[in-house]
């Protein structure tokens, strides 16, 4: 397969809280906040959809509490679209003393060591309580490297959990907190393609999920330490198999050049903690490449962080000032760095969208319409 073949598409994903222009980058709002960046600034930056992490919100403040307060949108005052992950990735990466069975995963909280049991049904219950526009099937993110036997076993679990996630979701999705006020609309549920770095397992996974008929499809288990050409190979393998009229989401990627490359291949949605996490460590993504703002050479640099960027940070502040904030451990440092990096990421997607939209015949309408009552 020609991996550089352009297959990018400009589309629109219609969700109950917001119609999202794709390809889109989704800032990660782990515990109900995109770290260090207020919601009104996210709006100003043009973010249309953000992520919430089910694992974190389940542990604190608790999904029942958020349900009682009307759902996550209302709790954090975010009027745009949201997506929650299934909790699986964090259960496997953050928690301690995991015990995986066909039934689910028992784990200890990384906060206080308390014991919890997550099943596909429980993940759906938590995600319905949180009430993001898009929920994700409960899966096991296969680690890298994983041998063939391990990848097969992990995929078997993920496929069984996908079926249970879907059945549970369909039976209960009318319980989403905004069901009535949104005229009977409800959430969408995406399935997650796994299969490690084995092409045939990925294919098998995609085929079985498509049979189940999810509202959209994610490619998971990438950017977990594998070489970048392998990431690209897996994305290129799976993308053409996914239905053209449903959103395609690659989870947890990537660097600026990667998200641009994947968007041009036909990926509609991506998320990554990188722009905000790197920002808090002083790493800025700019049109001139990555810069570490802590560097001595910026001590009296009066230029903007990125001369080609017109974000609110670059219009107002100098590299010297951002360096000073970083060295002084000022809280504003993480905020300003994060705002610029998010503006940079969102700007890449805006540019790709404009370029795709100018080519006749590339306009595709991918609609996940607000659905009628689900039961
Ligand atoms: Zn900027």
Task: Please give the structure tokens belonging to residue 37.
Answer: 């960046």
Centre of ligand 1 from the C-alpha of residue 289, in Å: 13
Give residue 18 CA to ligand 1 midpoint distance, Å.
25
Categorise residue 329: left if φ over 0, alpha if ψ from -120 to 50, beta otherwise: left
Give the tens place of pLDDT for each residue, 161-171. Answer: 999 999 999 99
State yes or no: pLDDT of 374 exceeds 70. no
Q: How far apart are CA 247 and CA 260, in angstroms?
A: 17
Rounded distance from Cα 308 to ligand 1 centre (Å): 8
Question: What is the average pLDDT value for the chain, to the nearest integer?
Answer: 93
Side-chain-side CA neighbours of residue 94 (13 Å)? 16
The answer to whether 305 and 283 have CB atoms below 8 angstroms apart is no
Q: Is the pLDDT of residue 373 over 80?
A: no
DSSP for 60-113, written as a single string:
TT-HHHHHHTT-HHHHHT--SEEEE--SHHHHHHT-EEEEE-SS-EEEE-TTT-
C-alpha 310 – ligand 1 centre gap (Å): 6
> DSSP characters for 184-226?
T---EEEEEE--TT-HHHHHHHHHHHHHH--SEEEE-S-SSS-
Confidence (pTM): 0.95
Q: Enumerate the active-site residues.
A: 85, 271
* Beta carbons within 8 Å of 372's beta carbon, 6+ residues apart: 184
361 pLDDT exceeds 60?
no
**Apex CA 260: angle with CA 199 and CA 334, to 5°?**
115
The rounded distance, in Å, linking the Cα atoms of 249 and 191 is 10
Tens digits of residue pLDDT in 172-198: 999 999 999 999 999 999 999 999 999
Task: Note the pLDDT tens digit of each residue in 300-357.
Answer: 999 999 999 999 999 999 999 999 999 999 999 999 999 999 999 999 999 999 998 8
Average pLDDT over residues 98-113: 92
């Amino acid at each position: 397969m020609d991996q550089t073949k352009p297959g990018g598409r400009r589309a629109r994903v219609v969700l109950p809280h917001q119609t999202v222009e794709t390809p889109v980058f989704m800032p990660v709002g782990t515990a109900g906040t995109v770290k260090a960046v207020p919601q009104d600034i996210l709006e100003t930056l043009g973010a249309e959809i953000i992520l919430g992490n089910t694992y974190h919100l389940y542990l604190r403040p608790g999904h029942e509490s958020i349900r009682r307060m009307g759902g996550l949108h209302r709790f954090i005052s975010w009027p745009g679209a949201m997506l929650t992950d299934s909790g699986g990735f964090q259960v496997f990466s953050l928690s301690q003393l995991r015990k995986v069975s066909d039934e689910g995963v028992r784990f200890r909280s990384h906060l206080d060591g308390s014991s919890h049991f997550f099943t596909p049904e429980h993940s759906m219950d938590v995600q319905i309580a949180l009430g993001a526009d898009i929920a994700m099937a409960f899966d096991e993110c296969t680690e890298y490297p994983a041998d063939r036997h391990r990848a097969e076993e992990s995929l078997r679990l993920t496929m069984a959990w996908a079926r249970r996630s879907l059945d549970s979701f369909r039976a209960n999705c009318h319980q989403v907190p905004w069901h009535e006020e949104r005229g009977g609309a409800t959430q969408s549920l995406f399935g997650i393609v796994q299969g490690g770095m084995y092409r045939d397992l990925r294919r098998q996974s995609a085929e079985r999920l498509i049979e189940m008929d999810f509202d959209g499809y994610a490619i998971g288990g990438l950017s977990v330490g594998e070489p970048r050409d392998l990431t690209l190979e897996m994305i290129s393998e799976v993308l053409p198999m996914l239905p053209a009229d449903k959103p395609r989401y690659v989870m947890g990627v990537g660097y600026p050049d990667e998200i641009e490359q994947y968007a041009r291949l036909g990926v509609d949605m991506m998320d990554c903690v990188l722009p905000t996490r790197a920002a808090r460590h002083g790493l800025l993504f700019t049109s001139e490449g990555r810069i570490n703002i802590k560097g001595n050479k910026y001590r009296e640099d009066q230029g903007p962080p990125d001369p080609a960027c017109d974000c609110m940070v670059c219009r107002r502040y100098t590299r010297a000032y951002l360096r000073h904030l970083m060295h002084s451990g000022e809280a504003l440092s993480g905020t300003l760095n994060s705002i610029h990096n998010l503006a940079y990421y969102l700007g890449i997607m805006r540019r790709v969208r404009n370029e795709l939209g100018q080519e006749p015949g590339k306009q595709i309408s991918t609609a996940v319409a607000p659905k009628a009552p689900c039961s």
